[in-house]
Amino acid sequence: MTDTKTLWYLLTFRCVNCGRSEASARTCLESEAGEDQITGRIYRVTCKSCGWKGEVCGISAVRISHEFELKVME
Ligand SMILES: [Zn+2]
């Protein structure tokens, strides 16, 4: 049995088309990785409000929330 701890991050971006903060991306990192690795990446996002799709840099995220997810593999 192996325990793998994965950190999931939910990044929220302001849509460049409609201006609402409805564009989001979800990503995961190994547990000891720093948050600068989150903001240094490029994310492909879709706006829930107007349907705009594009690529944005993590540094422009208006909100980053994270949660631990414990996956147990047997
Ligand atoms: Zn939009």
pLDDT at 38: 87
C-alpha 43 – ligand 1 centre gap (Å): 15
pLDDT at 11: 93
Query: Model pTM?
Result: 0.76
C-alpha 3 – ligand 1 centre gap (Å): 39
Among left, alpha and beta (phi > 0; psi -120 to 50; other), residue 51 is left
Average confidence (pLDDT) over 41-69: 92
* 44 has pLDDT over 80: yes
Tell me: the pLDDT tens digits for 5-42?
A: 778 889 999 999 999 999 999 988 876 667 788 899 99
pLDDT at 5: 73
C-alpha 49 – ligand 1 centre gap (Å): 5
Extended strands (E) in the chain = 2-13, 23-30, 42-47, 53-57, 63-73
